[in-house]
Chains A and B, each alone.
Chain A
Amino acid sequence: MSTSTTSGVAAANDAAAADGTTPAKRRSIFSRAANPTPAPGYRGSKKATKLEPFTVISYLGVTIFGLFALIPLWMILAGSLTAESTLARSGYSFFPEPFSLDAYVAIFSGTAVFQGYAATLFITVVGTVLSLLATASLSWVIARRMPRISRPLTIFAYLPMLFSGGLVPLYLLVTQVLQLQNNWFAVILPHMMAPFLVFVAVSFFRQLPEEILDSAKVDGAGELRVFFEIVLPLSKPILAVIGLFYAVSYWNEWFTAMLFISDPEKYPLQLMLQNLIANVTNAAMLPGSGSVAPIYQLRLALTVVTIGPILLAYPFAQRYFVKGLTLGATKG
């Protein structure tokens, strides 16, 4: 439905696909991603009558890489269900034998994991909502091409992609000036806006049909009303893409938490996990210890608990990620 709209020369096309330059191109990728059936023809089913060696090699290669991607994750899952006796000997297992749920029982009988989940959920949900609101509204103002406002704002949001103050000033800002130690907002705020996603949103907003906005204004809707009641509902697909990018980065964020959160009761999941690694290393070094608690199994089970929600959301999220990637293409 889409490739035919582009202007012919292939080199031009894929360059455009890579940096998202031509709007026509961008729109076409977007609509294709919304409807993931590939275009027929070469990429479809045509003339697949005889099997060529290259096709066989491709099947092989993709299968190998697929296994390469999945086996480590399988080892985590299998290991988390394997009794500590095996794990303490080899450190890994491919099949849960002997099968054991000890670690999961241990995890869910304590409160630590629930606290960790609460922290991670708070950071992810509140962070994503704040990020989306701030990103969408700033992007909309940039996209409106207001004289004397939009241009300077573009540069304003673009410069931080080129130059950053780095770790030390940020650390001083959060700890000395804002006094946010042991506060979940210390994890949220530094990542609240990603300039890259601002520009993804801007380029989407600029594709909204002007007529709808005009007719709304003729009907007497103010700028705010236009934004909240027309622009945002029309932009659901891009908001989903951007929201997912933010949500995953909040979910996986551990470094900022490590810098600013020292109270174990406030640890998000990732930081708990990191702490447990340190404990495992310590436990392994102490002679005779390690057999008391199922620490190897515990570590793997906690890992599964940490990636579980991503795994569940994945079938839904993946489509949007691919969409966002091809839309913003090369993330700098």
Chain B
Amino acid sequence: MQQRMTTHKENPVDSAVPVYRAHARQSRKQRSRGSGVLLLLAAPGIAWFLIFAYAPMAGLIVAFKNFDVSKGIFNSPWSGLDNFKYFIESGDAPAIVLNTLVLNVLFLAATLGAGLALAIMLNELRARVFKKFMQSAIFFPYFVSPIVISIILQVILAGAGGHGGAVNDALGLFSLPEVSWYTEPGPWPWILTIVKVWQLGGYMSVIFLAAITSIPEDVYEAAMLDGATRARMALSITMPLLKPTAAILIVLGVGRIFYGDFGTIFAIIGDNGTLFSTTDVIDTYVFRSLRTIGDFGTTAAIGLFQSVVGFILVTAAVLIQRRYSKESSIL
């Protein structure tokens, strides 16, 4: 822990900006003069972090208490590991952990793949106006709120009065049987993955496109002189050179796996219990148990479990990413 803290000292921007050492060269005396005023400037931010980021961390002791609203967090009696026991004995743990992992791996793979493919294809487009229009179109879903997404899905999948819907009508055209999507848990991991691709495909493509733009021109010129086709160039130049970007996105994405996108899943699935077997993730489970069981202790215990595993994953991801990007920038 202490070790990690020290590594993070250099993080994330300090070590990244060697050019600005000029700043640091200024004499210490000169800078500490205004430090009181500067602290005043930082005060609102510091206060926010203390109240809304650090106090809740301390509040996690609820996980070890038999919480009673009337007594408050600190006066409620201790209960040891009872809350954790309850969570583990409920038998829900393996399923929701598995769901969290499976769904987030699917999301990550699909959005990265879509973003990469889109960036490479967008890069091929010559028609300026068309390209700009398409870029705006594919980026737009990023701004659409989870609630709106859930309405779109209902329109497409559910139709009116629980039957029909655009997809079922399309299935009907090929004389395939109608599916009652909202009672069928099987296809939902894929449906959610498609939603994620819709939502984040354009966003990811922006990141990849930025990386493509930084590939030096002469590499392509050389390939062109050798008579390479555009497909060849995309495959043998662009793709390999995008690997570091993809690697960093993967590492960061894996780090965030335990903080799956709660809003979207909850807005879409809500309290539809028939779909829980494939879609219930840690976040939705925590929220539901907070609301239905109303047991703060147990819920906090699950939250603590999530935070700890999440912390380990994120920290590992950050360490790997720093290492990786350093290595690749030495190459």
Cβ contacts A1-40/B at 8 Å (1 or 0 each): 0010010111111111111111111000100100000110
B147 touches A273 (CB 8 A): yes
A220 is an interface residue with CB less than 8 A from chain B = no
- Assuming the contacts A14-B245, A21-B16, asked whether A270 and B217 have C-beta atoms less than 8 A apart, the reply is no
A230 is an interface residue with CB less than 8 A from chain B = no
B129 is an interface residue with CB less than 8 A from chain A = no
Cβ contacts A201-218/B at 8 Å (1 or 0 each): 011001100100000000
B321 touches A69 (CB 8 A): no
Q: Which one of A69, A137, A202, A330 has the highest number of Cβ atoms from chain B below 10 Å of its Cβ?
A: A69
* Measured CA separation A149–B286 after assembly (Å): 37
B118 is an interface residue with CB less than 8 A from chain A = yes
B145 touches A306 (CB 8 A): yes
A168 is an interface residue with CB less than 8 A from chain B = yes
* Measured CA separation A166–B67 after assembly (Å): 16
- Assuming the contacts A147-B28, A154-B14, asked whether A169 and B300 have C-beta atoms less than 8 A apart, the reply is yes
A91 touches B12 (CB 8 A): no
* Measured CA separation A193–B156 after assembly (Å): 36
Cβ contacts B293-316/A at 8 Å (1 or 0 each): 000100110011011001100110
Q: Which residues of B contact A17 (CB under 8 A)?
A: 210-211, 214, 245
B245 → A minimal CB distance (Å): 4
Which of chain A's residues has its CB closest to B37's CB?
A: A223
B93 → A minimal CB distance (Å): 16
A126 is an interface residue with CB less than 8 A from chain B = no
B34 is an interface residue with CB less than 8 A from chain A = yes
A12 touches B45 (CB 8 A): no
Cβ contacts A66-82/B at 8 Å (1 or 0 each): 10111011011001000
List the interface of chain B (C-beta within 8 A of A): 5, 8-9, 11-14, 16-17, 19-20, 22-24, 26, 28, 31-32, 34-35, 37-42, 44-46, 48-49, 51-60, 62, 69, 72-73, 114, 117-118, 120-126, 131, 133-134, 136-148, 150-152, 154-156, 158-162, 164-166, 169, 198, 201-203, 206-207, 210-217, 219-221, 224, 229-231, 234, 241-245, 248-249, 252, 255-256, 262-263, 266-267, 283, 286-287, 290, 296, 299-300, 303-304, 306-307, 310-311, 314-315, 318, 321, 324-325, 328-331
Given contacts A29-B210, A66-B134, A139-B45, 5 further A-B contacts (CB under 8 A): A15-B324, A15-B325, A160-B49, A173-B56, A176-B73
- Assuming the contacts A55-B124, A160-B49, asked whether A18 and B147 have C-beta atoms less than 8 A apart, the reply is no
Task: Specify which of A63, A151, A202 is in contact with B9 (CB 8 Å cutoff).
Answer: A151
17 pairs, A vs B, C-beta closer than 8 Å:
A10-B214, A29-B214, A32-B213, A52-B231, A58-B121, A59-B124, A69-B202, A90-B160, A138-B41, A154-B14, A160-B53, A165-B303, A169-B57, A206-B23, A251-B145, A277-B154, A290-B160
B207 touches A325 (CB 8 A): yes
B41 touches A227 (CB 8 A): yes
A248 touches B245 (CB 8 A): no
Among the stretches A42-50, A108-116, A234-242, the one at the interface with B is A42-50
A264 is an interface residue with CB less than 8 A from chain B = no
* Measured CA separation A16–B126 after assembly (Å): 27
User: What are the 3 tightest A-B residue pairs by CB atom distance, in nearest-first order?
Assistant: A165-B56, A169-B59, A138-B45
Q: Which residues of B contact A315 (CB under 8 A)?
A: 136
* Measured CA separation A140–B62 after assembly (Å): 36
A277 touches B151 (CB 8 A): yes
The size of the chain A interface, using a CB distance under 8 A, is 139
* Measured CA separation A41–B26 after assembly (Å): 43
* Measured CA separation A274–B267 after assembly (Å): 8
- Assuming the contacts A3-B214, A18-B248, A90-B160, asked whether A65 and B118 have C-beta atoms less than 8 A apart, the reply is yes
Q: Which residues of A contact B287 (CB under 8 A)?
A: 167
* Measured CA separation A18–B326 after assembly (Å): 12
B140 touches A20 (CB 8 A): no
A146 is an interface residue with CB less than 8 A from chain B = yes
* Measured CA separation A203–B146 after assembly (Å): 31
* Measured CA separation A149–B41 after assembly (Å): 12
Q: Which residues of A contact B156 (CB under 8 A)?
A: 72, 75, 92
